[in-house]
Amino acid sequence: MITTINALVDMGLLVVLSVSALMLVRCNSPLNTIILNALYSFTICSLFVIMDAVDVAFTEAAVGAGISTVLFLCVIHPDDESGRLFVWPGPLATVVALATGLLLVFGTFDMPLYGDPQVPVHTHLVTRFLEDSGTEIGIPNVVTSVLASYRGYDTLGEVVVVFTAGTSVLILLAAGHARQDSGDGLISNSILRVVMPRIIPLVILFALYVQFHGDYGPGGGFQAGVILGAGLITLALLTDSRIMQGVISERWIIRGMAGGVLVYGLVGVASMLGGGKYLDYSVLAQSSTDGQHLGILLIEIGVGITVAFTMLSLFVSFNRSGQTGD
Amino acid sequence: MIPVSAVVLIPLLGAIGIVLARRHVGLRNLVLVLTGIGNLAMVGHIALNLSGYQEVQVLFETLPGLSIAFHVEPLGLVFGLTAGILWPITSIYAVSYLDACRDTHQTRFHALFCVAIGSAMGIAFSENLFTLFLFYEMLTFSTWPLVTHSRTREAVSAGRVYLGVLLASSLLLFLLAIVLVGNYGSGLSFVPGGQLASTSPALVAVLLVLFVFGIGKAAVMPLHRWLPRAMVAPAPVSALLHAVAVVKAGVFSMLKITVYIFGYDLLNVVFLRDILIWFPAATVLVASFIAMRQDDIKARLAYSTVSQLSYIVTGALMANSLALIGSGMHIVMHAFGKITLFFCAGAIMICSGKKYISDMNGLGRSMPWTFGAFFVASLSIAGLPPTGGVWSKWYLALGALELGQVAILGVLMLSSLMNVYYLLAVPLRAFFLPAPQPQARLECRPALIGPLVLTALLSCALFFLSGDLQGLLADLTRRMASP
Amino acid sequence: MISSALKHLPVLQVVVPLLVAALCVLAGSRFLARTALILTALVMLSISLMLAGQVYPDGVISYALGGWPPPWGIEYRIDMLTVFVLITINLVNLAAAVFALGRNDDNLGRGAHAAFYAAWLLCMAGLNGMVVTNDAFNVFVFLEISSLATYVLIGCGRDPRALLASYRYLVMGAVGATFILLSIGLLYMHTGTLNLTDLAQRIDARGANRTVIMALAFLIIGLGIKCAMMPLHDWLPNAYSFAPNSVTVLLSGTATKVALYVLLRFVHDLFGVDHALSVPVDIVLVACAISGMLVAPLIALRESNLKRMFAWSSVAQISYIILAIGLGTGAGVAAALVHLFNHSIIKVAVFMAVGILIARTGTARIRHLGSVAHTHRFACYTLLFGGLGLIGLPGTPGFVSKWVLVSAVVERGWWWLAIPVLAGSLASAAYVWRIVEILWAKPADIPLQQTRSPLAFVEWFPLVVVMGLVLWFGLHASLVTGWAGLAAAALTGNGS
Amino acid sequence: MTDAIPGLFNYWVAIGLFVCGLVMILDSRNMIRKMVGLNMFQSAVFLLFITMGKVENGHAPILADGISRFSNPLPHVLILTAIVVGVATTAVGLALVVRIRRAYGTVDEDEIFDRPEVEPEIVP
SS3 string, C199-211, reads: HHHHHHHHCCCHH
Taking the CB of residue A10, how many other CB atoms lie within 10 A of it? 24
Amino acid at C248: T
CB of C367 less than 8 A from some CB of D: no
Nearest Cβ partner of D103 from C141, C160, C178?
C160
Q: What is the percentage of chain C residues whose pLDDT exceeds 70?
A: 97
pLDDT at residue B191, rounded to an integer:
85
Q: Which chain A residue's Cα is nearest to D56? A: A115
pLDDT at residue A134, rounded to an integer:
83
pLDDT at residue C276, rounded to an integer:
47
User: Is residue C370 pLDDT above 70, yes or no?
Assistant: yes
Stretch 156-185 of chain C: residues touching chain A, C-beta under 8 Å: 156
User: Is residue A186 pLDDT above 70, yes or no?
Assistant: no
Alpha-carbon distance B414 to B398, whole Å? 15
Q: What is the percentage of chain B residues whose pLDDT exceeds 90?
A: 6
CA distances from C64 to B434, C9, C262 (A): 99, 12, 20
Any contact of D with C, at least 3 CB pairs below 8 A?
yes
What is the rounded average pLDDT of the residues A288-315? 90
**Residue A317 to residue D15, Cβ atoms within 8 A:** no
User: Is residue C335 pLDDT above 90, yes or no?
Assistant: yes
Mean pLDDT across chain A: 82
**Residue A164 to residue C74, Cβ atoms within 8 A:** no
CB of C301 less than 8 A from some CB of B: no
Nearest Cβ partner of B151 from C393, C403, C441?
C441
The larger pLDDT score, comparing residue D88 to residue C456, is at: D88
Alpha-carbon distance C237 to C307, whole Å? 8
User: Is residue B133 pLDDT above 90, yes or no?
Assistant: yes
For each of the domains in chain D, give its residue range(s) and CATH number, in order of start. 4-55+70-114 (1.10.287.3510)
SS3 A17: helix
Alpha-carbon distance C493 to C197, whole Å? 12
What is the rounded average pLDDT of the residues A270-284? 89
Mean pLDDT across chain B: 85
Q: How confident is the model at residue B107 (pLDDT cuts 50, 70, 90)?
A: confident
What is the rounded average pLDDT of the residues C232-249? 91
Non-local (6+) Cβ contacts of B113 within 8 A are B91, B94, B146, B236, B237, B240, B241
User: Is residue A38 pLDDT above 70, yes or no?
Assistant: yes
**Residue A104 to residue C214, Cβ atoms within 8 A:** yes
Q: Which chain B residue's Cα is nearest to C418? A: B176
Amino acid at D39: N
Q: How confident is the model at residue D112 (pLDDT cuts 50, 70, 90)?
A: confident
**Residue D36 to residue A37, Cβ atoms within 8 A:** yes
pLDDT at residue C354, rounded to an integer:
93
Alpha-carbon distance D91 to A74, whole Å? 11
Count of structural domains within chain C: 1
pLDDT at residue B136, rounded to an integer:
92
The larger pLDDT score, comparing residue C279 to residue B468, is at: B468
User: Is residue A178 pLDDT above 50, yes or no?
Assistant: no
Residue (of B161, B176, B180, B171) closest to B137 by Cα position: B171
User: Is residue C343 pLDDT above 80, yes or no?
Assistant: yes
Alpha-carbon distance C300 to C284, whole Å? 24
User: Is residue A196 pLDDT above 80, yes or no?
Assistant: no
Do residues D43 and A148 lie in contact, with contact meaning Cβ atoms separated by under 8 Å?
Answer: no
- All residues of chain C having their beta carbon less than 8 Å from the beta carbon of residue D41 are 175, 178
pLDDT at residue C99, rounded to an integer:
92
Residue (of C90, C179, C74) closest to C127 by Cα position: C90
Q: Containing domain of residue C186, as a range?
A: 2-495
Alpha-carbon distance A222 to A156, whole Å? 11
Summarize chain C as % helix, strand, coil (round to 5).
80, 5, 15
Do residues A132 and C54 lie in contact, with contact meaning Cβ atoms separated by under 8 Å?
Answer: no
pLDDT at residue A181, rounded to an integer:
43
**Residue C400 to residue B62, Cβ atoms within 8 A:** yes
**Residue C66 to residue A278, Cβ atoms within 8 A:** yes
Q: Which chain A residue's Cα is nearest to C218? A: A100
Nearest Cβ partner of A120 from C4, C25, C190?
C190
User: Is residue D124 pLDDT above 80, yes or no?
Assistant: no
Best A56, A159, A160 member to test C by mutation, with max C CBs in 10 Å, is A160
pLDDT at residue B6, rounded to an integer:
86
**Residue B175 to residue C400, Cβ atoms within 8 A:** no
**Residue D120 to residue C148, Cβ atoms within 8 A:** no
Alpha-carbon distance B39 to B89, whole Å? 12
User: Is residue C148 pLDDT above 90, yes or no?
Assistant: yes
Q: How confident is the model at residue B389 (pLDDT cuts 50, 70, 90)?
A: confident
Nearest Cβ partner of A134 from D28, D63, D79?
D63
Q: How confident is the model at residue C243 (pLDDT cuts 50, 70, 90)?
A: very high
User: Is residue D81 pLDDT above 50, yes or no?
Assistant: yes
User: Is residue A324 pLDDT above 50, yes or no?
Assistant: no
Nearest Cβ partner of A265 from C15, C138, C217?
C15
Do residues D38 and C171 lie in contact, with contact meaning Cβ atoms separated by under 8 Å?
Answer: yes
User: Is residue D46 pLDDT above 90, yes or no?
Assistant: yes
What is the rounded average pLDDT of the residues D74-82? 92
**Residue C178 to residue D99, Cβ atoms within 8 A:** no
What is the rounded average pLDDT of the residues B50-61? 82
Alpha-carbon distance C91 to C44, whole Å? 9
CB of C99 less than 8 A from some CB of A: no
pLDDT at residue A243, rounded to an integer:
57
CB of B275 less than 8 A from some CB of C: no
State the alpha helices, DSSP H only, in C228-376: 235-242, 245-253, 255-264, 281-302, 306-327, 330-361
Chains with ≥3 CB–CB distances under 8 Å to C: A, B, D
Cβ burial, residue C411 (10 Å; 0-12/13-18/19+): middle
pLDDT at residue B119, rounded to an integer:
92
Do residues B8 and B32 lie in contact, with contact meaning Cβ atoms separated by under 8 Å?
Answer: no
Stretch 73-132 of chain A: residues touching chain C, C-beta under 8 Å: 103-104, 106-107, 109-112, 119-126, 128-129
The larger pLDDT score, comparing residue C311 to residue B94, is at: C311
Alpha-carbon distance B242 to B305, whole Å? 8
- All residues of chain C having their beta carbon less than 8 Å from the beta carbon of residue D123 are 362
Stretch 80-119 of chain A: residues touching chain D, C-beta under 8 Å: 80, 83, 85, 87, 89-90, 92-94, 96-98, 100-101, 104-105, 108-109, 111-117, 119
pLDDT at residue C86, rounded to an integer:
95
- All residues of chain D having their beta carbon less than 8 Å from the beta carbon of residue A116 are 7, 56
Do residues B92 and B10 lie in contact, with contact meaning Cβ atoms separated by under 8 Å?
Answer: no
pLDDT digits (tens, 9 = 90+) for C471-487: 999 888 888 888 898 88
What is the rounded average pLDDT of the residues C191-220? 86
Nearest Cβ partner of A121 from C111, C148, C188?
C188
Ranking A184-188, B463-467, C454-458, D46-50 by mean pLDDT, the lowest is A184-188
What is the rounded average pLDDT of the residues B194-217? 87
- pTM value is 0.92
Do residues C94 and A308 lie in contact, with contact meaning Cβ atoms separated by under 8 Å?
Answer: no
The predicted complex's ipTM stands at 0.89
Mean pLDDT across chain C: 89
pLDDT at residue D40, rounded to an integer:
92
pLDDT digits (tens, 9 = 90+) for C80-121: 999 999 999 999 999 999 999 887 677 777 678 889 999 999
Q: How confident is the model at residue B379 (pLDDT cuts 50, 70, 90)?
A: confident
What is the rounded average pLDDT of the residues B196-216? 87
Non-local (6+) Cβ contacts of A249 within 8 A are none
DSSP A239-277: S-HHHHHHHS-HHHHHHHHHHHHHHHHHHHHHHHHTTS-
Q: How confident is the model at residue A241 (pLDDT cuts 50, 70, 90)?
A: low
Q: Which chain A residue's Cα is nearest to C114? A: A171
Alpha-carbon distance C271 to C275, whole Å? 6
pLDDT at residue A88, rounded to an integer:
76
Taking the CB of residue B394, how many other CB atoms lie within 10 A of it? 16
Q: How confident is the model at residue C275 (pLDDT cuts 50, 70, 90)?
A: low
Alpha-carbon distance C218 to D48, whole Å? 15
Do residues A48 and A57 lie in contact, with contact meaning Cβ atoms separated by under 8 Å?
Answer: yes
* Chains A & C: contacts with CB separation below 8 Å: 189
Do residues B71 and B127 lie in contact, with contact meaning Cβ atoms separated by under 8 Å?
Answer: yes
Domain assignments of chain A as residue spans, ordered by start: 1-87, 125-326
**Residue C477 to residue B63, Cβ atoms within 8 A:** yes
User: Is residue C18 pLDDT above 90, yes or no?
Assistant: yes
Do residues A145 and C66 lie in contact, with contact meaning Cβ atoms separated by under 8 Å?
Answer: no
